């Protein structure tokens, strides 16, 4: 539970037991400064007058500021000289002042409003000294929830250079504090998964097991983390199946139908537990009642295929190398007919990020990159078999950030 007034500066949020000075893990303030400084260095090298961020995930990455993203633009701008402004709708001013450390806050009345927010924003840019070529994640606010408006280049009359490539390349290598948040997310995913496994029984429905596991874990996480600061509305822990039950488990992305579990069902789970915005991914194939020999065989193969990916992950290898290692394993074991998806994807502030562990992605792996590793086998009659774990590339290999049993005996549910 948060105190009403006790808004600590970013990086110093503490749990309720203040005497113990137990520090709740967040991204420290100096790290946001370093990130902005790196982006500014790029901006100066490119002889740009400053940079502008329209996307909510980028604003969070560079400033730690969180808000409900909607059709009303929230924009962050910083000049090459380091003068910055956060631009928000009027109704966000008081909260922004209370929950952030921005020195300058500019506001517009409403969207669409009597004057379009982008026209007002153009004057703010002049005022902070951003005149001449600008860098931006994109040339205007994205069309969220019906937003429409002129491009940044039009309202400023200057050229706009895209920075999304630079931003994404920064985001894909995680810092120690980011890795720690992802690791913590993985622990809550495992907590929720244990409960999901416990509540999944014949006669129970998908929604019953899922809501119970998710609610209980959310409350446990909130209680354990104490004052969580940036917890956004959409946060909380979820665990479930999204319909991947019985033969539907062979659909790698099913949608939920609130199915009732039956003995013999193959299951593919999913969990989500953002911690201060950071995500791990943990998924397991499971079976209700004793597995058949065929199921046991395919279970063994997905564990081995995941191991083949783990072995291939190290700095200097490419994303494609990792996917190739898995494809080679599938080919050697006559499993290609069961293939449906590439090996994995980047993960962090978003639950899917670049790069992808895919034959067509030739990005070179570097330490600090974080991926899901989830080679699956799918058959319309036998069902789906997939374990997803989250791993970080290290200086000399990789490290698994999620910790949950992968063997079939641990994943066989009682009838």
Q: How far is the CB of 248 from a second copy (least distance, A)?
A: 7
Contact 130, 49 (CB under 8 A): yes
| Minimum distance, C-beta of residue 407 to a second copy, in the bound complex (Å) | 25
Q: Is the CB of 78 or the CB of 323 nearer to a second copy?
A: 323
The angle formed by the CA atoms of residues 368, 372 and 376, to the nearest 5 degrees, is 155
**Residues 6 or more apart whose Cβ sits within 8 Å of residue 233:** 68
Min CB(252)–a second copy separation in Å: 4
How many angstroms separate the CA atoms of 382 and 380, rounded? Answer: 6
Minimum CB separation from a second copy for residue 157, in Å? 23
Q: Are 72 and 110 in contact (CB under 8 A)?
A: yes
Residue 278 CB, nearest approach to a second copy (Å): 15
Looking at the Cβ atoms of 92 and 321, the one nearer to a second copy is 92
Cα gap 114→188, rounded to integer Å: 46
User: Where do we find the tokens 């962090």?
Assistant: 348
Min separation Cβ 238 and a second copy, Å? 9
Q: Which is nearer to a second copy, 2 or 105 (CB)?
A: 2
Q: How far does CA 323 lie from the centroid of its chain?
A: 21
Distances (CA, A) of 45 to 27, 50, 310: 27, 11, 38
| HEC-encoded secondary structure of 302-359 | HHHHHHHHHHHCCCCCEHHHHHHHHHHHHHHCCCHHHCCCCCEEECCCCCCEEEEECC
Shortest distance in whole angstroms from residue 311 CB to a second copy:
22
Cβ-based nearer residue to a second copy, 12 or 260: 260
- Asked whether 226 and 15 are in contact (CB, 8 A), the reply is yes
Least Å from the CB of residue 5 to a second copy? 9
89 or 135: whose CB is closer to a second copy?
A: 89
What does residue 396 show for φ and ψ, rounded to 5 degrees?
-130, 20
Whether residue 112 is preceded by a cis peptide bond, meaning omega within 30 degrees of 0, is yes
Q: Which is nearer to a second copy, 218 or 399 (CB)?
A: 218
Nearer to a second copy, 80 or 287 (CB): 287
> DSSP states of 265-306 as a string?
-EEE-EEE--BTTB----B-EEEESSPPHHHHHHHHHHHHHH
Output 80 or 286, the one with its CB closest to a second copy: 286
CB of 206 to a second copy, least distance (A): 9
Q: Which is nearer to a second copy, 52 or 128 (CB)?
A: 52
- Rounded to 5 degrees, φ, ψ at 220 are -65, -40
The two three-digit tokens of residue 226, written as one number: 């104490």
């Amino acid at each position: 539970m948060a105190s009403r007034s006790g808004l600590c500066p970013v990086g110093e949020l503490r749990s309720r037991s203040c005497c113990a000075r137990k520090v709740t893990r967040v991204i420290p303030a100096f790290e946001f400064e370093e990130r902005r400084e790196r982006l500014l260095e790029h901006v100066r090298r490119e002889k740009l007058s400053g940079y502008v961020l329209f996307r909510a995930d980028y604003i969070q990455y560079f400033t730690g500021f969180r808000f409900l993203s909607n059709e009303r633009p929230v924009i962050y701008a910083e000049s090459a000289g380091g003068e910055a402004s956060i631009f928000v709708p009027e109704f966000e001013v008081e909260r922004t002042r209370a929950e952030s450390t921005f020195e300058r806050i500019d506001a517009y009345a409403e969207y669409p409003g009597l004057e379009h927010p982008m026209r007002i924003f153009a004057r703010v840019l002049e005022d902070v000294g951003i005149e001449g070529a600008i860098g931006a994640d994109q040339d205007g606010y994205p069309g969220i929830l019906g937003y429409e408006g002129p491009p940044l280049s039009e309202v400023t009359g200057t050229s706009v250079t895209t920075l999304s490539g630079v931003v994404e390349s920064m985001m894909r290598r995680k810092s120690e504090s980011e890795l720690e948040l992802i690791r913590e997310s993985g622990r809550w995913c495992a907590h929720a998964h244990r409960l999901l496994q416990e509540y999944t029984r014949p006669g129970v429905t998908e929604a019953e097991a899922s809501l119970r596991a998710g609610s209980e874990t959310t409350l446990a996480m909130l209680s354990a983390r104490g004052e969580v600061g940036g917890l956004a509305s959409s946060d909380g822990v979820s665990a479930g199946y999204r319909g991947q039950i019985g033969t539907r488990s062979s659909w790698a992305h099913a949608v939920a139908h609130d199915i009732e579990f039956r003995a013999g069902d193959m299951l593919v789970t999913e969990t989500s537990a953002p911690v201060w915005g950071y995500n791990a991914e943990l998924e397991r194939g499971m079976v209700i009642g004793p597995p058949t020999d065929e199921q046991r065989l395919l279970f063994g193969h997905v564990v081995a295929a995941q191991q083949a990916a783990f072995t291939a992950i190290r700095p200097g290898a490419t994303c494609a190398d990792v996917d190739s290692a898995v494809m080679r394993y599938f080919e050697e074991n006559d499993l290609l007919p069961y293939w449906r998806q590439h090996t994995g994807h980047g993960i962090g502030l978003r639950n899917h990020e670049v790069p992808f562990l895919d034959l067509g992605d030739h990005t070179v792996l570097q330490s600090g990159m974080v991926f899901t590793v989830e080679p699956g086998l799918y058959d319309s009659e036998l069902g789906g078999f997939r374990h997803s774990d989250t791993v970080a590339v290290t200086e000399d290999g990789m490290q698994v950030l999620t910790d949950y049993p992968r063997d079939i005996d641990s994943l066989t549910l009682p009838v």
